[in-house]
Each structure stands twice: as structure tokens, then as C-alpha cells.
């Protein structure tokens, strides 16, 4: 799993947020557009693109996109 590809896929889930404003160190829950719907879209994106399962708990227990990536890499 490539970190830059993951970041790009993550950023694509947001319609109103400039993708260039989202970095690996972004605290994703602080993005104005973040919602439970985006969380579900992230869960589905990870399953579809990376064939890995994440849960709401995984999202709650991580702060940055990089932390989420590391958690997924360990699974």
C-alpha cells in the first residue's frame, strides 16, 4: 500500500475541500466537511481499493491520515 496513493484516495472523498489542503499530517476530523457520511465513504474506499477492513473505532482512535495509514499497514 502506497502512502501517497492512500492520501490521494482519502482526499477524493471530500467534495468541497481542496485536495491540496489535505496532507498526510492532516487531522481529518478537523476538516470542515468531515461527517459520519464521509467516515462511511472512507471505510468503503479502504475496503474497495485496499481490500482491508477498518471500523469506526479505527477512525475514532486515530487523529491524522498518516496514523490511519500506519494502522491499515499493520493489518
For the stretch 24-74, pLDDT in tens is 999 999 999 999 999 999 999 999 999 999 999 999 999 999 999 999 998
Q: Where are the domains of the chain?
A: 1-8+31-75
Confidence category of residue 13, pLDDT binned at 50, 70, 90: very high
pLDDT at 75 over 90: no
pLDDT at 14 over 90: yes
pLDDT at 1 over 80: no
Give start and end residues of each alpha helix (H) in the chain. Answer: 3-11, 36-50, 56-60, 65-74
- Sign of the torsion angle spanned by Cα atoms 32, 24, 62, 11: positive
The predicted structure's pLDDT at residue 16: 94
Amino acid at each position: 500500500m502506497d502512502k501517497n496513493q492512500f492520501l490521494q484516495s482519502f482526499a477524493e472523498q471530500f467534495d468541497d475541500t481542496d485536495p491540496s489542503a489535505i496532507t498526510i499530517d492532516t487531522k481529518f476530523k478537523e476538516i470542515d466537511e468531515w461527517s459520519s457520511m464521509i467516515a462511511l465513504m472512507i471505510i468503503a474506499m479502504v475496503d474497495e481499493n485496499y481490500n482491508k477492513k477498518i471500523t469506526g473505532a479505527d477512525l475514532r482512535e486515530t487523529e491524522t491520515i498518516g496514523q490511519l495509514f500506519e494502522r491499515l499497514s499493520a493489518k
